[in-house]
Amino acid sequence: MEKRTWPYGSDGRQVPRAFSSALITGGNDRNCKRSEMETVDVKTSSKCGDGDGDGGAFSSIPTDLLRRIAGSFTVPTLWAASGVCRAWKEALGSLREAMVFVQWGKRFKHGLSGVSKNREKALHCFLKGAARGSAAAMVDAGLILWEMGKKAEGVELYRAAAELGDPAGQCNLGLSFLQVEPPNTKEAVKWFYRAAFTGHVRAQYSLALCLQQGRGVECNRVKAARWYLKAAEGGSTRAMYNTALCYLSGEGITRNYQEARKWMKRAALAGHTKAQFEHGLKLFAEGDGGHALVFLELATRAGEAAATHIRDVLLQQLSPKLKAHAIACADNWQIRQASR
């Protein structure tokens, strides 16, 4: 018997929960929560499991099905799946190769690890990874092709990733349906729903927008507000701003000025220009000129013309020390944003 440590908790003696749920649902593992490292016993044979309980003979799963299930796995989970048994290690070899191509593709795309930016080389690497069944590679390749104007090819790769259960592929496929002429809003909403339920933040925001506007789905402001809130909690700046507006107006949700203020401030700190202006305006109305100037200065620098007049009024009213402090805070905020 050999001791192995899995990066995810398990609900059986041998197979991690991530694999068990993926086999049942055909989905991906990106939303599995990490738990404390858990040690399990694994027999080092070509059989996975001992035939009783919920282990089963996992090595009997057809290779093509196993690769399809694992196509959207993250690197740690793919590594762990490869260690389940000899059969899985051999079957998932092409996906492990694909992950190497994805890593190199990202280096060429973003100029990382001492590698110069090269979009053509990045695309070549992503296509190599996509050919080996990696959903992540399909999404990255599709994005580059879309940016190059080869939209039909990009959409096909998005669709391939989406059908493997990849949330980013599902979201991008939905967005592409909104951007074609004429837009296919119903198809877009269908894919947004699939990605949103996995926790994909941009899909949640896009779905909320469609629900609010009645695009491809019946208008439902209550559901829209709920999805905006989920996306805001997940870190979407635009969703934070829209959530603040919902709380402020009471559209689809109980009016709550305290929550509206909280989300407007979060959106402003995250860089939403209109939120910076509106939060600065609120602070100005409350007499907090120093803090108001920080947000109004940021909004002005971002091109929010409506913020300029009030900022200029504050510059005339505040003391030189307070003005200097506010401008320095705005400078530091921009520096932090640029370094992210």
Structure tokens at 99: 């992950």
Same domain, 292 and 302: yes
In a domain, 333, yes or no: yes
Of 91, 111, 145, the residue that ends a domain is 91
The three-class DSSP label of residue 272 is coil
Q: Assign residue 39 a region: left if phi > 0, alpha if psi is -120 to 50, beta otherwise?
A: beta
Tokens read off for 284? 């100005």
What is the extent of the structural domain holding 15? 1-91
Per-residue pLDDT tens over the stretch 183-210 = 999 999 999 999 999 999 999 999 999 9
Q: Is 223 exposed, middle or buried (0-12, 13-18, 19+ CB in 10 A)?
A: middle
Q: Pick from 266, 299, 322: which residue ends a domain?
A: 266
Alpha-carbon distances of 63 from 49, 66, 92, 139, 206, rounded to whole Å: 17, 5, 8, 23, 36
Domain end: 91, 107, 136, which one? 91
**Collapsing DSSP states into helix, strand and coil, what is residue 5?**
strand
Three-state SS for 50? coil
Tell whether 305 is covered by a domain.
Answer: yes
Q: What are phi and psi of 26, to 5 degrees?
A: 75, 15
- Domain co-membership, 261 together with 335: no
Query: Which tokens belong to 198?
Result: 């996995």
Q: Residue 139's closest CA among 178, 170, 107?
A: 170
Residue whose pair of structure tokens reads 């879309």 in the numeric block: 146
Computed over every residue of the chain, the mean pLDDT equals 85
Residue 76 has pLDDT above 70, yes or no: yes
What is the spatial distance between Cα 147 and Cα 154, in angstroms, rounded to a whole number?
9
Question: How confident is the model at residue 59, as a pLDDT?
Answer: 76
Give the gyration radius of the chain's Cα atoms: 25
Tell me, yes or no, if the pTM score tops 0.85.
no
What pLDDT is stored for residue 57 in this prediction?
64
Residue 32 sits in the same domain as residue 17: yes
pLDDT in tens, 257-299: 999 999 999 999 999 999 999 999 999 999 999 999 999 999 9
Q: Does residue 26 surpass a pLDDT of 80? A: no
* Rounded distance between C-alpha atoms, residue 176 and residue 169, angstroms: 10
Phi, then psi, of 5 in degrees rounded to 5? -110, 120
Instruction: Measure CA of the first residue to CA of the last residue in the chain; give whole Å.
Output: 46
Which CATH number fits the domain that encloses residue 261? Answer: 1.25.40.10
Structurally, how many domains does the chain consist of?
4
